[in-house]
Chain A
Amino acid sequence: MIHAAKAKQDKMAHRFLSIWFKNLVTDWLALKKPALAQLPFVMAASHRGRMVVTSVSHLAEKQGIEEGMPLVDARLIIPGIQVIDDQPDRATKLLKALAEWCSRYTPIAAVDGVDGLLLDVTGCPHLWGGERPYFKEIILRLRGSGYNVRGGMADTIGAAWAVARHGNISPLIEPGQQRDAIYPLPPTALRLSPETREALFHFGIFRIEQFADLPKKALYRRFPQELVHQLEKALGTRDEYLQPLESPVPYHERLPCLEPILTATGIEIALQRLLHQLCTRLEKEGKGLRSAIFRCHRVDNHLQQLEIGTTRPSYNGHHLFGLFKEKLPSIEPALGIELFTLHAPIIEPAKALQEMLWGGPAGLEDIQIAEWMDRVIDKLGPGSVQRFLPAAHHWPERSQQLAHSIADQPDTTWSRRQSRAIRILAVPRPIQVTAPVPDYPPMSFRYQNKLHERRKAAGPERIEREWWLEDGEHRDYYWFENQHGRRYWIFRSGWHSTDKQSQWFLHGFFG
């Protein structure tokens, strides 16, 4: 019994905030084009062969135009009304951006349908001095930026949703009071499908309290199952979860500022503090981060972010700060930054730094080399740092392969033959040769207008093309030393034939 009571208490601890954007798309458009703000206008899209109103501006709504109305009817009500083509998904995109903006108030924000947001604000309001100032801050900020919004805060998602859209007493429902709050509301407040609403309408039910206390069996018999489920969700006897836009990162630090930060020094201090907090925690848990995102929330609702990656898990705050420092100048504080956050989306277990008492030179697993690599990649971009491993191919262009990670070890050994040039041309260059006898090194060749006469040569080394990978001629490679003792790597492509000139190429230079 005690256990059950405790479980119930835990559930009660949740708080949700539902925000309803009454005219989301039109508000946004009016923000973008201030000229529209003073005009009634609608947005319309083609639906089953006719134009239908998809969203209505505040002023047009006042005159009786509704969503879903054929455009022709709207034109009858307001002749010469402004009509703007709607795009599908616009509302969802806007809501996503707004949900991201809301992450300054809570880490768990979700898009709710096509006209609302849902925030899990459990444990957040006290940071703003209580629920009322918190609620006011969010709603007034949104209203101030031009959105016609209503909000509701309650213990359950259902109740918060209902109060935001249909409540008319107080938007803040005290913990455990959702029953009293939703009973006077119309059944629509329960998020019901049109069929259920229709059925309730036929029974003459206009308020939730008219049916809420009836036995469940009776309700199941007469109405779709959904009705009972939604009612229970709103009352909190059935669990409901929200799907956060961005699942909360457990390694997340935030730093709100009393005064907006404008200077580079200020940003640096903020970053250093966040890194210090995060790294202390990581070090304690024996973990390191592989990537980190530093976000700056600006006063004008603009979000700026920097991202870094490391080759090995790191909890070295000094090093991570160095990586960010290169990019810090790209942040524009404009009117000021009011909140800094630092996420670490990728966390891996890190080996503790071990002091080497003695021992040979450092290997690739050395932490300082990994940090050097981070700095270089950070500056030059990925792909600028390469390491080669031997590959089991004879074809010269394929005899080496790029290592994918710093920890990659060769799976075959390097062949220590003398027959590979030390410097090669990216693409073999054609040369003119004098070769009197087939399958014999040329007497001389001409490259870039210089004549190289043979002093010595070795070969041929025939390398077949790997037919399972590509088509083409084989190559006969020669080591060729000219009259001055310079050494070249040349090859003939394909067979020697009498009827056509065989092609010779210079591929590289020997040491």
Chain B
Amino acid sequence: MPDNKQDIIQQLRRDILPLQGYKPPSAGYEVDLGLGPIEQAFPNGAFPTGAIHDFLTLDQEQLAATTAFLAAILSRMMERGGIAVWIGADSSTFAPGLAYYNVDPDRIIFVAPTTSKTILWTLEESLRCDRFIAVLVEITDLSFVESRRLQLVVEQSRVTGFIIRHQPRRKNIVASVAQWRITALPTQSQGERPGRGFPRWHVELLKVRNRQPVACDVEWTGTHLYPIPPKQIDSRSEGKTG
């Protein structure tokens, strides 16, 4: 009997997931980021698309790191074509810089609304259009009620929304499948070659709906994202003295 009970609970858990905004990706639309531990942290063991992801940034450097990490994710999502929308009041995103992360910047439509009210309107309108792969927005503050509205929209349209809250006045909770924080890490030189190394970040999943938060170091190797095994992280701190 206990076995049976366990099965029932498992089944119920699986049934609850879609109700909470985790829908298994439809065939042909799975996104494999190659981010082992981070993807394992999500239910179904896959990066949830058709949901809202929330990114927190506190300064310009963090914003740049987040932008780069998102560009790397976008490049995976847009591999088979498609269009993404980038909404932000100031367009400090530099298209030639995005190209390094394998994104075709000409397949991104930039929208520059001026007020927070029009940003929200544009965001909702874009998330509602199911032809987009993803919608990114840079915003200062987003209230819980506003984010619930967005969550309801994406449940219908299955568009993935990335919200970057840059220097928010209030760090309130928003309705999202995950809250992320990306911080730049010192780069590692490749072998004997001096000079710059590949971009490297400390990726933290601060909140994951239904799961435990995790953190992991990730490097962009010029072609894909690569999670750095913990022991390599240790050697990094040793190398710091050099």
Which A positions have Cβ atoms within 8 angstroms of B?
360-364, 366, 368-369, 372-373, 375-376, 379-380, 384-390, 396, 399-400, 403, 409-410, 414-418, 420-426, 455-458, 479, 481, 484-487, 508-511
Q: Report the nearest B residue to A479, measured CB to CB.
A: B196
B7 within 8 A of A: no
Q: A410-B106, A422-B68, A485-B186 are in contact. Are A511 and B129 (CB under 8 A)?
A: no
Return the contact of B96 from the options A376, A396, A479 (Cβ within 8 A).
Answer: A396
Main secondary structure of the interface of B (DSSP, over half): mixed
Q: Is A364 a contact partner of B107 (Cβ separation < 8 A)?
A: yes
Q: Are A380 and B196 in contact (CB under 8 A)?
A: no
Chain B, 163-215, CB within 8 A of any chain A CB? 184-187, 189, 195-197, 199-201
> Given contacts A387-B106, A388-B110, is CB(A362)–CB(B131) below 8 Å?
yes
Contacts of A485 in B (CB 8 A): 184-187, 200
Q: Which 5 A-B residue pairings sit nearest by Cβ, starting from the closest?
A: A511-B68, A361-B82, A485-B186, A509-B64, A414-B99
Interface size on B, residues (CB 8 A): 61
Instruction: Name the residue of chain A whose CB is nearest to the CB of B66.
Output: A511
Interface centre among B95, B125, B130 (most CB of A within 10 A): B95
Taking a contact as CB atoms under 8 Å apart, the answer to whether A390 and B199 are in contact is no
18 A-B pairs whose Cβ atoms sit less than 8 Å apart in the complex:
A362-B132, A380-B112, A384-B112, A385-B111, A389-B106, A390-B99, A416-B102, A418-B100, A420-B100, A421-B94, A422-B100, A423-B97, A458-B195, A484-B186, A485-B184, A508-B97, A510-B64, A511-B69
Query: With A420-B100, A511-B199 in contact, is A364–B93 under 8 Å at CB?
Result: no
Interface residue? B151 (CB, 8 A): no
Q: Across the interface, do A424 and B109 meet the contact criterion of CB distance under 8 Å?
A: no
B228 within 8 A of A: no
Is B105 among interface residues, defined by CB-CB distance under 8 A? yes
Taking the nearest CB of chain B, how far is it from the CB of A449, in angstroms?
13
Identify which of A375, A417, A484, A509 contacts B60 (C-beta below 8 A): A509
**Known A372-B129, A380-B122, A418-B100; 12 more pairs at CB < 8 Å:** A361-B78, A376-B125, A380-B111, A388-B95, A390-B95, A414-B99, A422-B93, A456-B189, A456-B196, A479-B195, A481-B196, A486-B61
Q: Which residue of A lies closest to B183 (CB)?
A: A485
- Which chain B residues in 60-119 approach chain A with CB under 8 Å? 60-61, 63-65, 67-69, 71, 78, 80-83, 90-102, 104-114, 118
Q: Please determine whether A361 and B111 come into contact, CB atoms closer than 8 angstroms.
A: no
Q: Are B96 and A400 in contact (CB under 8 A)?
A: yes
Cα–Cα, bound, A506→B52 (Å): 34
- Contact A508–B81 (Cβ < 8 Å): no
Q: Which residue of B lies closest to A421 (CB)?
A: B97
Contacts of B122 in A (CB 8 A): 376, 379-380
Contact between A369 and B132, CB atoms less than 8 A apart: yes
Q: Are B91 and A422 in contact (CB under 8 A)?
A: no
A422 to B, closest residue via Cβ = B97
Question: Residue on A with the closest CB to B202?
Answer: A485
Q: Are B121 and A379 in contact (CB under 8 A)?
A: yes
- Of the candidates B68, B131, B222, the one whose C-beta lies within 8 Å of that of A510 is B68
Contact B129 A487 (CB under 8 A): no
A455 to chain B, nearest CB (A): 6
Bound-complex Cα distance A379 to B93 (A):
23
